[in-house]
A and B are shown apart, each in its own frame.
Chain A
Amino acid sequence: MLDKLDKNTQVIVQGITGKEGQRVTEFMLAMGVKVVAGVRPGKAGEKVMSVPVFDSVADARAEFPEAVVGCVYVPPQLVLGAFVEALEAGMKLLHIIGEGVPVRDTAEMIALAREKQVQIIGPSSLGLVVPEEFKLGQLMGVENSSVTPGPIGIVSRSGGMSSEMANMLTRAGIGQSMVVHVGGDFLVGTTPAEVLLAMEADSRTEKVLMVGEVGGGYEREVVEIIKKGKFSKPLVVFIAGAFVESLPQQVPLGHAGAIIQGEADTRQGKIKMLEEVGVKVVERMDEIVALLQ
């Protein structure tokens, strides 16, 4: 689904009347994204920046049957319910901002998404951007000067690093095919490896830059898809987190995802594993540009 997003993709925003919902709508509209409908129970008939509001996702879909891509911008305790509603209304790709969604709720959403073949970006994600084509969420904010079209796919666990990296490449004259912030929570709906698979299928992407972190086992999955030949494009990985490893105990800094579970989850363990399958791992940001030119 990720490699099919373009200028014509229609978007529905759940929680559109809230502060966050309004902001994300503004950001997407600023890039020319077709935000066709918003949802907020009890506010049907209202408008948010020209976008009509409906009582339910089902109502919005009745009016816009083509729209299967959405954003969930509701408080963390309501995310699971909003997600289930979207699923039942036939949505296919959902971006979830909610910071602080209980891991049990995320696990339930992932299980449901698998069953119904739905893709989740998040939780705790700023979304994704296809430069000059499409935006889902609030990545890069309102002005988009950090991104420019080109051949590099970026996937990151950190929203700040997603834009920092895109910005660094843009300033060096290197454009991006797609920038995806998968989210910083321990469990995420779409893993970095799944984004790599989409980027393998995406004809716009030639090389990929991935930002890793200490903790979590997502790099292991990346190693597996490379071993199996499912991902074959050149990959550069940047892993931060020596500071976290210097602390005496498990401390969830940066993101909840930065929890170290075992040897392979440490920074050194990940670097070794990735290098063994031919991935170029860099520990300093200033080495990245030269490798992607």
Chain B
Amino acid sequence: MKLFEYEGKELFAGAGIAVPEGVVVESIAELERIKFVDPGIRRGRDTIPGSGELEFPLVVKAQVLSGKRGKRGLVKKVSDRQVLEREVEGMLGREVDGEKIEKVLVVEAVEIERELFVSVTYSTKSRGPVCLFSVGGGVEVEEGLSVSEMPISISNDEFLISKQIPNFNEQISKQLDEVVNKLWRLFRDRDLFLAEINPLAVTKEGKLVALDAKVVTDDAANFRQKWELPERNMLGKAKSWAELETEKIDAEDHRGVVGRVYLDLPGDIGVIAAGGGASLVAMDAMMGFGLAPANYTEFSGNPPAWKVKRLSEIVMAKENLRGVMLVGGKANFTDQMETLSGFAEVLREKKPRYPIVVRRDGPRMSEAKQMLIDLASELGLRLEVYDEATPIVEAIGKLNEMVGGADAG
């Protein structure tokens, strides 16, 4: 799961990495929680983290999961209360890439001497953890400033970056060692997939402060990590009804993986995909024809009929669908009669008028195919069933024909 900046900074602070004093607000009224301190009183002095004491100038930062906030006007420096309120009001509720801004982080502006970039993640090159470091931070890195990549041994308790970059600025090298080592341990101990500080600021006072936090947790490790974070979908939005419903499916029965991935999309073709790789081929083919998916979801393994039924119900609950496809490759062991029966039950209950294409193969497919064909003729459905003899792309071409092409909607 991807964390918001403020969540990442809380993690950093907990690991002993300095972050600017800040307060998260969800409304103008919540600005009251800030204790405004007169300028000069404590500039440069240490404060108690979480005290809520802030001193102008401040920076207002929209809490969204997408990047490049600076360029999109989602990070604003403010020097008095009036401008602060105006900027907070302007950001809250705005939509960015379909993600609504629900929180803003108000932090003290830091006087920056220089910016660095440091990140710990996994690399497919070394097939283990790596530390990425650059002598410039912020957008410079995104724009291609060179980044050194240093593999870290997974069994290492300590990672000292000064040993890798011996000639880097002596004054801050000890502090940098501490920050990077804390980041490495946090990364390892909390099962993170990414822990990135960009920029890591060197302040006028010569201190290292994390001005941003990009953290991605490894969901697979949730059985041993406790995260008390608000729910979010993969695009950072609050979860939709369908997303919450699909999530419940696997919780009730461990057989097969059904609806673990579900995304609401703006199109009008319902999608139930089976198996990872073939699903992507199918989605590519849909896009090739100009068809727009209403959702993306998948099931895999060998689930019982009721789970596929529930997933199909959720997909077909969407209004204004122009067509539905259930598509997958030739399964290694998924029982087609079982899984497609679940889909068939929903067809029997809903009797949709729009075209439906099934393309699938695997154990008991011929039985399943006959069952669907019989059902279609009994209910008068516009249903086509294809097996391995018809390539995925061709089956989707047929759906395209049946719905009248991309523009018919």
Partner of A107, one of B2, B128, B328, B392: B128
- A104 contacts B66, CB within 8 Å? no
For the complex of A and B, list the 4 residue pairs with the smallest distance between their C-beta atoms, beginning with the closest: A158-B277, A160-B275, A243-B283, A161-B277
A285 contacts the other chain (Cβ, under 8 Å)?
yes
Mark contacts of B269-311 with chain A using CB atoms, 8 A cut-off: 1 yes-contact digit, 0 otherwise: 0000011111111011011100001001010100000000000
- B332 contacts A139, CB within 8 Å? yes
Given contacts A23-B333, A103-B218, A107-B128, whether A141 and B362 have CB atoms under 8 Å apart is yes
CB distance from A68 to the nearest CB of B (A): 22
Total contacting residues, chain A, CB less than 8 A:
67
Given contacts A77-B223, A102-B218, whether A253 and B124 have CB atoms under 8 Å apart is no
CB distance from A216 to the nearest CB of B (A): 5
Known: A188-B127, A253-B280. 14 other contacts (CB 8 A): A76-B223, A102-B220, A141-B332, A142-B363, A158-B280, A159-B277, A160-B275, A160-B276, A160-B277, A160-B278, A184-B276, A213-B277, A248-B98, A285-B281
The stretch from A7-15, A39-47, A217-225, A273-281 touching chain B is A217-225
CA distance A164 to B282 in the complex (A): 13
Count of A-B contacts with CB under 8 A? Answer: 182
CA distance A251 to B288 in the complex (A): 20
Given contacts A163-B330, A186-B122, whether A77 and B224 have CB atoms under 8 Å apart is yes
Mark contacts of A253-266 with chain B using CB atoms, 8 A cut-off: 1 yes-contact digit, 0 otherwise: 11110100000000
B191 contacts the other chain (Cβ, under 8 Å)?
yes
Instruction: Identify the closest chain A residue to B281 (Cβ).
Output: A240
Mark contacts of A6-36 with chain B using CB atoms, 8 A cut-off: 1 yes-contact digit, 0 otherwise: 0000000000000000010001000000000
B125 contacts the other chain (Cβ, under 8 Å)?
yes
- A140 contacts B332, CB within 8 Å? yes
Most chain A CB inside 10 Å of its own CB: which residue of B224, B281, B287: B281
A77-118 CB contacts (< 8 Å) to partner B? 77, 99-104, 107-108, 110-111
- A253 contacts B284, CB within 8 Å? no
CA distance A167 to B391 in the complex (A): 11
Mark contacts of A201-221 with chain B using CB atoms, 8 A cut-off: 1 yes-contact digit, 0 otherwise: 000000000010100111011
Chain B interface residue count: which class?
35 or more
User: Which residues of the partner chain A approach B328 to less than 8 Å between Cβ atoms?
Assistant: 160
A246 contacts the other chain (Cβ, under 8 Å)?
yes
- B276 contacts A110, CB within 8 Å? no
- A186 contacts B331, CB within 8 Å? no
User: Which residues of the partner chain B approach A161 to less than 8 Å between Cβ atoms?
Assistant: 277-278, 281, 329
B194-224 CB contacts (< 8 Å) to partner A? 218, 220-221, 223-224
Q: List 24 A-B contacts (CB under 8 A).
A: A77-B223, A102-B224, A103-B122, A103-B221, A104-B188, A140-B332, A141-B331, A141-B362, A143-B363, A160-B274, A160-B276, A162-B277, A163-B332, A164-B278, A187-B124, A187-B127, A240-B277, A242-B284, A243-B286, A246-B287, A251-B263, A253-B263, A283-B284, A284-B393
User: Which residues of the partner chain A approach B284 to less than 8 Å between Cβ atoms?
Assistant: 240-243, 283
User: Which residues of the partner chain B approach A156 to less than 8 Å between Cβ atoms?
Assistant: 277
CA distance A140 to B334 in the complex (A): 11
Instruction: Identify the closest chain A residue to B288 (Cβ).
Output: A242
Given contacts A77-B224, A248-B66, A255-B276, whether A242 and B287 have CB atoms under 8 Å apart is yes
CB distance from A16 to the nearest CB of B (A): 17
CA distance A285 to B390 in the complex (A): 12
Instruction: Identify the closest chain A residue to B276 (Cβ).
Output: A254
- B278 contacts A158, CB within 8 Å? yes
A244 contacts the other chain (Cβ, under 8 Å)?
yes
Partner of B154, one of A99, A108, A160, A256: A108
CB distance from A115 to the nearest CB of B (A): 10
A138 contacts the other chain (Cβ, under 8 Å)?
yes
User: Which residues of the partner chain B approach A270 to less than 8 Å between Cβ atoms?
Assistant: none
A252 contacts the other chain (Cβ, under 8 Å)?
yes
A227 contacts the other chain (Cβ, under 8 Å)?
no
B193 contacts the other chain (Cβ, under 8 Å)?
yes
A126 contacts the other chain (Cβ, under 8 Å)?
yes
CA distance A167 to B365 in the complex (A): 15
Given contacts A159-B275, A255-B276, whether A110 and B332 have CB atoms under 8 Å apart is no
A146 contacts the other chain (Cβ, under 8 Å)?
yes
User: Which residues of the partner chain B approach A100 to less than 8 Å between Cβ atoms?
Assistant: 220
- A286 contacts B278, CB within 8 Å? no
- B125 contacts A217, CB within 8 Å? yes
B234 contacts the other chain (Cβ, under 8 Å)?
yes
User: Which residues of the partner chain B approach A213 to less than 8 Å between Cβ atoms?
Assistant: 277, 280
Partner of A164, one of B257, B329, B333: B329
- B235 contacts A251, CB within 8 Å? yes
CA distance A256 to B263 in the complex (A): 16
CA distance A252 to B281 in the complex (A): 15
- A187 contacts B276, CB within 8 Å? no
CB distance from A260 to the nearest CB of B (A): 12
CA distance A37 to B406 in the complex (A): 56
- A254 contacts B280, CB within 8 Å? yes
CA distance A212 to B276 in the complex (A): 12
A61 contacts the other chain (Cβ, under 8 Å)?
no
Instruction: Identify the closest chain B residue to A238 (Cβ).
Output: B281
A171 contacts the other chain (Cβ, under 8 Å)?
yes
